[in-house]
Every structure is written in C-alpha cells, then in structure tokens.
C-alpha cells in the first residue's frame, strides 16, 4: 500500500471564516508545519513545487512582485494575477490570496487568507486542508501527489471534512450542483 493510499485527512480544524459581505467570505486557515519558513516559502512560490501540492499551476515564480498566469485545476483558462507583495519568507499576496509565514521553533506557522464565494466556503476549507496535508508530506520528503479539484472531492475524507467545516462555520453543507447566485 502506498503512502497516498494510507493517507486520511485528520478532523476539520484550524479554519475560520470572516463574513465580509453577502457573497464573498474570507477563509482563514492556520497550519503549523515542521519546516523552516524558507523551505515553506519555496513551496509557496516555486512553480515546480506548487505543481506537487497546490490547486493551481503558475507560469512563473510567485516570489517577486509582478504579473503571473495562474490556472486553477479544473479551469482550463489561465487568470492573469498580480503578485502585490512578496516579502520572503514572511508575506505573499496575489489575487485574492494572502499567506503569512511565522517562524515557530524550528518550524512555521502558516496562515492563509483566501476570499471565496460563500456558497463554496466549506469546500474551500476541505480542499485547502488536504492541500496543506499534501504540502507537509512533500516538505517532509514523503510526497503523496497532488489531491485537488474533482479528484479531491472523490477522495476519502473530503466529504467528511466538507460537512465538518460547514458545521463549524454555521452553514448548510453545500451540494452539487451549487445553487445559483444569491440575490
């Protein structure tokens, strides 16, 4: 049995939402990793590392201010995004995403802020939960391969995480297909 086959995500934890407006909410995920900020920074900014764990690919490094094409898994159309802040190895901002890295002992407290349509907030939390698990294993030298998009939704544990995060956020567990935009 491979490491990937043995992987099961832990319970929903370390996430909260900030309800900024009716349709867009901010998902905040905090994860403590056993790796130094410099190593985590490389994984957040280097296109080759991102392909191993993130729910998107980029055509250039996210480690410098400038324009990058970002393509979300499952959406073939790249988005041109601007990296507005790249203070290695502490703060990275691009598009609707912000990462903060704080040295913690020999590791890193990683905080993600991601603006997401409120209808998909628990999906986003479940997806990022799995992505960050995959990132941690990659940085530990025991990669299990990227688990994102529709593949993640079929993965053992994703439905449970989605329901757990929905309960934590005080919302109904979203179903597929999602409802139309709120009025």
Residue 173, domain member (yes or no): no
CA distance 29 to 50: 18
Structure tokens at 82: 């601007």
- Is position 127 within any domain? yes
pLDDT at 2: 67
Residue 154 lies in a domain: yes
Q: What's the average model confidence in pLDDT over 88-103? A: 97
**Once rounded to an integer, what is the mean pLDDT over residues 50-56?**
97
Q: What is the pLDDT of residue 182?
A: 43
183 falls in which pLDDT band (50, 70, 90)?
very low
Residue 179 lies in a domain: no
Q: Within a domain: residue 147?
A: yes
In a domain, 174, yes or no: no
Q: Which two tokens stand for residue 71?
A: 């393509």
Query: In this predicted structure, what is the pLDDT of residue 1?
Result: 54
Domain count, the chain: 1
| Residue 62 predicted with pLDDT over 60 | yes
Backbone angles phi, psi at 27, to 5 degrees: -85, 130
Could you tell me the CATH number of the domain that includes residue 132? 3.30.530.20
Give the pLDDT of residue 40: 98
Q: What is the per-residue pLDDT for 172? A: 87
Is residue 58 in some structural domain? Answer: yes
Residues above pLDDT 70, as percent of the chain:
94
Asked, for residue 81, whether it belongs to a domain, the answer is yes
pLDDT for the residue 174: 78
| Containing structural domain, residue 32 | 3-168
46: left (phi over 0), alpha (psi -120 to 50) or beta: beta
What integer is the mean pLDDT of 18-28?
A: 87
């Amino acid at each position: 049995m491979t490491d990937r086959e043995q992987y099961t995500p832990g319970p929903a934890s370390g996430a909260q939402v900030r309800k900024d407006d009716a349709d867009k909410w901010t998902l905040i995920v905090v994860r403590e990793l056993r790796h130094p900020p410099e190593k985590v920074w490389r994984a957040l900014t280097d296109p080759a590392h991102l392909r191993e764990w993130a729910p998107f690919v980029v055509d250039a490094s996210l480690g410098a201010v400038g324009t990058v094409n970002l393509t979300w898994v499952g959406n073939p159309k790249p988005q041109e995004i601007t990296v507005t802040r790249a203070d290695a190895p502490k703060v990275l901002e691009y598009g609707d995403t912000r990462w903060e890295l704080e040295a913690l002992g020999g590791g890193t407290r990683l905080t993600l802020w991601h603006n997401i349509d409120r209808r998909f907030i628990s999906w986003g939390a479940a997806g990022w939960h799995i992505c960050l698990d995959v990132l941690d294993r990659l940085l530990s030298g025991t990669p299990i391969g990227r688990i994102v998009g529709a593949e993640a939704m079929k993965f053992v544990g994703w439905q449970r995480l989605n329901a757990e995060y929905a309960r934590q956020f005080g919302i109904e567990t979203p179903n597929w297909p999602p409802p139309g935009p709120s009025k």
